[in-house]
A and B are shown apart, each in its own frame.
Chain A
Amino acid sequence: MIKNYSVLSFLAIALFIFTGCDKDDPEITNEEELITTVNYTLTDEAGATVVLTFTDLDGDGGNDATIVGGTLVANQRYLGTLELLNEAETPSESVNAEISEEAEEHQFFFESNIADLSFEYLDVDADGNPIGINGALTTGDATSGSITITLRHEPNKTADGVSDGDISNAGGETDIEVTFPIVIE
């Protein structure tokens, strides 16, 4: 019977130890990889700028994102610059550098439901393939629609049409996909 009691007391002790502790508050993760903001700055030849912005400060869940579109002039060429920010950090951090460092593994794609809107790449990675942080956009006649900008991680840049900006054979996975409403006057 002594063994019996020893088993029981062991059980009681183990039970006590376990229930005795409370759960500490977790450390809140530093979301350093998060991209909260995409700014697409379009500059025309005269130097006037239009900034298209997508902001989602709290990440995937929580509050909805804020999207700011813009108005462009018909039959005009714009230089387009992308800026990616993590504004969850203070001060806010630019994600552009991370992308430039791994330029061979990243590519932006520009698509629009406006037929005569055209895009071109003005930057290349070490292999001579486009990246898309710097580019140009040329508008056609007056209309309205949207522009979708996609950042692919590990795309197959040598696949058919990819270096010309055709996303269909790119593969990889999407890091960013934002759509801005635009009006062309």
Chain B
Amino acid sequence: MNRTYSILFICLLGGLSAYAQDCDIVVQGNVFDEASQSPLAYVNIFIQETRTGTTTDDDGNFSLENICEGHYHFIVSHIGCDDEKFHFDILQDTILKIGLSHSPISLETVTIAGQTDSYGNQANLSVKRNVIEDNSNQNLSKIIENETGVHLIKNGSGITKPVIHGLSGNRLLILNNGILQSGQQWGNDHSPEIDPFAADKITILKGASAIEYGGGNLGSVILSQPKRIEKEPHLHGQVNYIFDTNGRGHTLNARLGKYSPSVAWKVSGTLKKSGDNKSANYFLNNTGVEEANFSVQLEKNWNEIFTFDFYASTFNTRIGVLRGSHIGNLTDLELALVQDVPFFTEPNFSYEIEAPNQQVSHHLIKGHAKYFISDDQFLEAILALQINNRKEFDQRRNERTDIPALNLAQLTFNSELKYTNNFSDDWRFKAGVQNIGTDNTNNPETGILPLIPDYLSWKTGLFSTLSRSINNTSLNLGARYDFEDQTVLTISRTIPREIIRFENQFHNASAVFSIKSKITDAQSIGWNIGFSMRNPAINELYSNGLHQGVSGIEEGDAELQVERAVKNTLEYKLVPNSNFSFNVLAYHQLFRNYIYLNPQDEIRLTIRGAFPVFKYQQTDATIYGLDVSSQVTLSKSVLALFKYSYIKGQDQTHNQPLIFMPPNSLFGSLTYRAPKAINFIKDLDLEDFEIEVTNRFVFEQLNFLPEQDFTNPPAAYNLVGLKLSSDLILPKYKIRTFIKADNLFNVSYRDYLNRLRYFADDLGFGLTAGINVKF
């Protein structure tokens, strides 16, 4: 969901008032929909300091009287919108003009007023801050789950990995604060190590290729972005606490920030602890999560032309993996598949996290400088360092359980230099150079030959984009070149063990063209075509050994070729008025040398029994689909939302389905929002009271071959959710509260992309309650 808020202020001098008067200032205003320019009724305007508020009339007008001179914080809220807060000094009678774009469909593309958005016409959508706050007990992937085109690969509820338009892992870029997230992306049982609470917005770019972000992406981009610190001279912050009944989880978040001309700062922290989750009928033992995160953001403007910001974050987690999902060999798996209740299921709840589990920490430090050469030109430089350490523990003999079975340390260095020039009113040129160095090292203490070898890789990318907006059309053209050098040190599987050194060099090129046009006032259409190349990643080339997470022997192929893809997206948007919007995005991606893990006919006999063998192979493939979403305002206070994602993947060489493509899904929600504040008891008003019913239906994956998997995909399922939320207005505070029920009818189900479906049901009924205090 995406919206831009441009709050325009037009301040009129109070004509005759020659000197400040005590408390009879009038603040008037008008709120309008930015896309259609039509007035917005029933928008709440609230002044925090005076605790007075009003609602706009049918013409979008409001008026607040008897205001004293002073500085105030205004809160503007509307159904389906993030609360928007701004700080304003009131000295005399004032008129505020507030433009609000409030559809869940990105309207910024409809308002192509002279400026190209920074994502270069890409189909994009974003998750707003209050959704992040209400779901801060979840991980990043889970928060974007209900967006169109997004699916999740899971390994239980604690480990989730986003899939966008069928692509994930090495093909999906995740940027945390402008820095390409670096970790062990290859593993389906590795989730991105980012604390979503530190972000103000999570944006998903679905276009062919985000040229600027590079790294050989054939897929989409997820951006987790904090906002610039607001020019707000007072200390502000928030405390957020969430409790889940399923897993008995506690989440505590806090954030504090202040602006001052010398330095602006913001800190954010998260603590989480939860225990065993429960499916509809039994506990999922050893599925607890512990997490502790902290981040600091600093900004400094030396003068109008030079700004600097600094960001540091640390993310630390320990995640239990369902005990019953840890298996020894193919026989164990076959036994587990026929079990109704997984092995090791106990009747009691526990916070204990035992083996198997994962302990991961990720640290980021980043500096970003921006220098304005002139009003229209600027130069940006970024330097960042990331340290990722992943330890995975398994049940092992003789107290070796305390020794990790996998222990990888990855050090990544990013640098970037970017030049932007808006060289006339409607042209924009951007060029940049990026370097990414990655040093990946296995700790030999594991006593197990590593699945992923030690390596050092160095990537250099050059890109340039040119965009132009004329009248109702915007054009964007971009090209990119990447060079990658890999030094890989593998250990032989034959005796005597030897170190085999590989040196690889790859050259990749990519290009993108897009055009977006406003056909009528209410309609726009956008087309995006991109070509890109991705060289095989280290795991695809040199994996060798037993991948415990997937209970198979994985073998890389050192002869793999560069993967190429052409992606087309076509997007149509209709926003005839502020009460209705409709968006459809069709995409088609054609691959040459698509790299995938192909199950082999061969069963490898080891002393531990038989294991299936998976080899990285290449084929020609297509992935295509449709993302549809629509929002309807049924009455002044009722909003309906509908989303549908269709996707299909086909291996063209072998004329068979691609494995593990997400099933189609349907999401709907109905929200009632009380048009006015409700006086609950004497000093307590309920503002923005909302009741939301959600329904998520996931179809059965029918496009598969039985020999591609250990068992057939699970049946379709339908989950209903209910959420009540309100702001409590107390004499001194405004407190947001919510309570929601997930899987309301305690449906027992399994999800195709959840690896635990071989062993156990997915999550059952759970209640979540949250409280958020902002000050």
Contact = CB atoms under 8 A, between A and B. Distances in A.
A7 interface: yes
B329 A23 contact: no
A111 to B, nearest CB: 11
A38 to B, nearest CB: 7
A23 B450 CA distance: 16
B301 interface: no
A163 interface: no
Given A15-B435, A26-B441, A173-B327, A61 B369 contact: no
Contacts of A36: 607
B774 interface: no
Contacts of A150: 331, 609
Nearest to A65: B605
A48 interface: no
Interface string B174-214: 00000000000000000000000000000000000000000
B608 interface: yes
Contacts of B489: 23, 25-26
B18 interface: no
Interface stretch (B130-138, B253-261, B451-459): B451-459
B329 A31 contact: no
A12 B488 CA distance: 25
B693 to A, nearest CB: 41
Contacts of A156: 343
A150 B335 CA distance: 14
Contacts of A118: none
Given A98-B397, A177-B329, A61 B607 contact: no
A176 B371 CA distance: 64
Interface in B602-616: 604-611
- Among B327, B497, B607, the most chain A Cβ lie within 10 Å of the Cβ of B607
Interface residues of A, number: 56
A176 B487 contact: no
B395 A61 contact: no
Nearest to B371: A4
Interface in A88-105: 88, 98-99, 101-102
Nearest to A26: B454
A157 interface: no
B413 A175 contact: no
A14 B609 contact: no
Interface in A5-27: 7-8, 10-11, 14-15, 18-19, 21-23, 25-27
B494 interface: yes
Nearest to B495: A58
A33 B448 contact: yes
**Chain A interface secondary structure, helix, strand, loop or mixed?**
loop
A62 to B, nearest CB: 4
Contacts of B396: 33
A172 B415 CA distance: 48
A31 to B, nearest CB: 6
A7 B382 CA distance: 9
Nearest to A152: B328
Contacts of B444: 26-30
A161 interface: no
B10 interface: no
A118 B306 CA distance: 84
Interface string A59-73: 111111100000000
B493 A58 contact: yes
A60 B605 contact: no
23 contacts: A11-B417, A18-B435, A23-B439, A31-B447, A33-B398, A33-B447, A36-B607, A37-B607, A59-B449, A60-B553, A60-B608, A61-B544, A62-B492, A63-B494, A65-B606, A65-B607, A101-B398, A102-B398, A150-B609, A171-B344, A173-B332, A174-B327, A177-B607
Given A26-B441, A59-B493, 15 more contacts: A23-B489, A26-B444, A26-B454, A26-B489, A27-B444, A33-B396, A33-B398, A33-B400, A58-B495, A61-B555, A62-B495, A88-B495, A153-B395, A176-B608, A177-B607
Q: Which 8 A-B pairs have the closest CB atoms?
A: A177-B609, A174-B328, A61-B493, A171-B343, A62-B493, A173-B328, A23-B456, A62-B494
